[in-house]
A and B are shown apart, each in its own frame.
Chain A
Amino acid sequence: MSDTTNQLLDNLNALAAGLFLLTAFGIVAMRQVRGCLNLFIAQSLLLAASAALLGLRHHSEHLYGVAVVNLISKPVIVPWLLRKTSPAEIYTRREIDQVLNIPTALLIALSLTILAYFLGIPLLNAVAPQFRGPNVPIGIAGLLLGAFTLTVRREALPLLIGLLVMENGSFLAGISISRNLPLLVELAIATDGLVIVFIMGVLTRAVQKQIGTTAVGELSNLKETAGPPARETAT
């Protein structure tokens, strides 16, 4: 393939990766739970796009496989599974009391992104030049922002999405540096993501039945010092 095509593909991939980062920021800040889910779907589509572009660039069928798996599992099956397993209430909720207010959360997210850049550079220098792209730092940023989402959100669904964002981030970085991961492994990882959604959906439903809300952040009984532990009988 000619240099200009390669250049174009690299630029398009950079665009997809940039938008990926934007969606990760959106997920940190978005209050509407349904909005979070939509942003996650957009992010998964961008991940699939990046995989397809890199596949075209490096002539790798494995990356096409990654793209197809992502295209099917996350935007389609994940919302379907959530509808099946978790209570409908989960979508309609708005989170009013986050642990941090939105500007502070975004500022921290920004500093995490800068940190990700500095963490990514040494890794990039160690791989062959044609694989150096924005994917690695942005993937690490996705990983960190996903973890950050997990610490500031209290609703069940944004927490689940935080986990999936971490996985997306790992993948975005992973596909650019470690190509040719066996397709079976890709498939297994995608299936695993679906199992995560299923189990967390079931747990969310159980939590909602038990305490009447899906704000799992309110579960904080288990501590060492606060009061005597609940006395449950084994009978």
Chain B
Amino acid sequence: MSVISILFLPLVATALVCIPVKKHWAAAVTVVSSLAVLILAGRLAWLASSGSFITVALKAGVLKWIAVDGLSALILLLIAFIGTTAAIFSVGYMAHENLEPGKLRLYYANYNLFVFSMLAIPLLAEPTLVWIVVELTTLCSALLVSFDNTREALEAAWKYVVLSLMGAGMALFGLLVLFAAMQASASDAAYTWNGLIAAAPTMPPVLLRTAFLLILIGLGTKVGLVPMHTWLPDAHSQAPSPVCALLSGIETTAILYVILRMFPVMKASHSSHAELWALVLGLISVGTAAFLLLQVRDYKRMFAFSTVEHMGIILTSVGLGVSAAAYGTMMQIVTHAVSKSFCFFAAGAVLMAAGTRDIAAVRGLIHRSPAAGIALVFGGLAITGAPPLAVFLSEFLILKAGLMQREYVATGLLALFIVIAFFGIMMHVNRMVFGPAANENNSVPDQVETFHLPFSCRLALILAATPVLVLGVYIPKPLEDLLTQAAAALTK
């Protein structure tokens, strides 16, 4: 039953935060419910790490379409973890914004709905239902992106909704074609991820290929793959920072997970098209993002482009050989999620301290707010893969797998783009944190000399930094089992 309660908790929380009582009620409810979801997700992940396949065996209606294996448990755990840290970060961040109570309740209601829609993605096993919750993630987060209600925020939200839904329209057609392929095959398995793998060998190849491409491009729009990425830096920079952490850290990954589910199906039908497409799209994304990173003017946009880059890395690593790099791919999914959410918390801290998103206007941050400065440097190092942090390990695993597969050109390009992105991000971060202190034409209003981060923001930063530090040097046994199980689901 814990599977169902994972979905119920955020909905209950949504209803509860709408009750207008004390000032901190909404925030407290959200934090408590996310913690409960995290515990339940942890328990599910524990079960899945021992290789058990959890289905909810109630034969009525939608419930038979809920299934959890290693891969979905991993994604679920990440969503729950970032949902919790972002909720904690929200407490201090939103209090700092001095909103009226109604607006604050709206924020937390939307937040919980958004987390609900994301949690449903890995739990559901029926592709069209997954498509519906993917749509819901867009719709629930649209009003969070436009939350500041500025001209820019509205533009970002509008672009986000139109482009994501356009992609979703294509993906829907892909799923219907997939369903047709399923009916044309010799198998009478149910229309679930596992049923698809069983039916794949006898599906008409043309239908399967068409469906795969439509899904890759349609959902790839929402993942932010180049050239469908144009909305991503806008939406992922205009939203409030805790929401950016959710959007960039885990929403993109959760959608990418849906695409990854198609790879075992393609493999079962003995088609190598899927890996080639993944390799090409992935490398284009990494390369474009690496160069765009050099010329950003807004540090939240910088981290958003880094998300495009990392989505590209994950897809490239799938393209290098689904089975060869599977463990590295899973590792990269984990490390990106934890590092990127940390980066956006750091960016939120900087925004609170400096009051601007302009890279050029932030100088000498280390003097104004040592905590925000240290967090930004740490975030920059973490996301660009400096040793011994977590991303370094996962990128190393992927590059190693690429060399073992003798894909020298693709691996070389990937390594080159990663290095360019490293210099791009660290150049900006270095100037912001250690650059000569603010001069007179700085538009930042007069503030006290040092800015103190709220306690909850510090707590969220520490919580988010822990896995980034630990996973670089030591992977606990249960997590390693879970990663192995997830990799097994990808190579099935």
Does B437 have its Cβ within 8 Å of any Cβ on chain A? Answer: no
Q: Are the C-beta atoms of B139 and A181 separated by less than 8 Å? A: no
In the complex the two chains form, what is the Cα distance from A174 to B204 in whole Å? 16
Interface size on A, residues (CB 8 A): 56
In the complex the two chains form, what is the Cα distance from A93 to B80 in whole Å? 45
In the complex the two chains form, what is the Cα distance from A188 to B130 in whole Å? 11
Q: Are the C-beta atoms of A219 and B296 separated by less than 8 Å? A: no
Q: Are the C-beta atoms of B152 and A127 separated by less than 8 Å? A: no
Q: Are the C-beta atoms of A229 and B173 separated by less than 8 Å? A: no
Q: Output the least CB separation between A212 and chain B (Å).
A: 11
Interface string of B90-103 (1 = CB under 8 A from A): 00000011100000
Interface string of A115-142 (1 = CB under 8 A from B): 0000000110111100000000001100
Interface size on B, residues (CB 8 A): 66
Q: Are the C-beta atoms of B177 and A234 separated by less than 8 Å? A: no
Q: Which of A7-15, A100-108, A192-200 contacts B (4 or more CB under 8 A)?
A: A192-200
Does B132 have its Cβ within 8 Å of any Cβ on chain A? Answer: yes
In the complex the two chains form, what is the Cα distance from A166 to B173 in whole Å? 9
Cross-interface CB contact of B129 among A166, A180, A185, A230, cutoff 8 Å: A185
Q: In the complex, which residue of chain B has the Cβ closest to the Cβ of A193?
A: B135
Does A235 have its Cβ within 8 Å of any Cβ on chain B? Answer: yes
Q: Which of B322-330, B338-346, B356-364, B382-390 contacts A (4 or more CB under 8 A)?
A: B356-364
Does B75 have its Cβ within 8 Å of any Cβ on chain A? Answer: no
Chain B residues contacting A225 (CB-CB under 8 Å) are 295
Q: In the complex, which residue of chain B has the Cβ closest to the Cβ of A204?
A: B158
Q: Are the C-beta atoms of A203 and B146 separated by less than 8 Å? A: yes
Does A69 have its Cβ within 8 Å of any Cβ on chain B? Answer: no
> Which B residues between 187 and 210 are near A, CB-CB below 8 angstroms?
204, 206-207, 210
Does A2 have its Cβ within 8 Å of any Cβ on chain B? Answer: no
Q: What DSSP secondary structure best describes chain B's contact surface? A: helix
Q: Are the C-beta atoms of A235 and B96 separated by less than 8 Å? A: yes
Does B355 have its Cβ within 8 Å of any Cβ on chain A? Answer: yes
Cross-interface CB contact of B296 among A128, A196, A224, A230, cutoff 8 Å: A224
Chain A residues contacting B132 (CB-CB under 8 Å) are 185, 188-189, 192
Does A110 have its Cβ within 8 Å of any Cβ on chain B? Answer: no
Which residues of A are interface residues toward B (Cβ below 8 A)?
A: 122-123, 125-128, 139-140, 143, 146-147, 150, 159, 163, 166-167, 169-171, 173-174, 177-181, 184-185, 188-189, 192, 195-196, 199-200, 202-203, 206-207, 210-211, 216, 219-222, 224-225, 228-235
Could you show 29 A-B contacts with beta carbons less than 8 Å apart? Answer: A122-B210, A123-B210, A125-B206, A126-B181, A126-B204, A127-B180, A147-B166, A163-B165, A173-B173, A178-B182, A188-B132, A189-B128, A192-B132, A192-B136, A192-B139, A199-B139, A203-B154, A203-B161, A206-B146, A210-B154, A211-B151, A219-B151, A221-B155, A229-B297, A229-B301, A229-B358, A232-B152, A232-B356, A233-B445
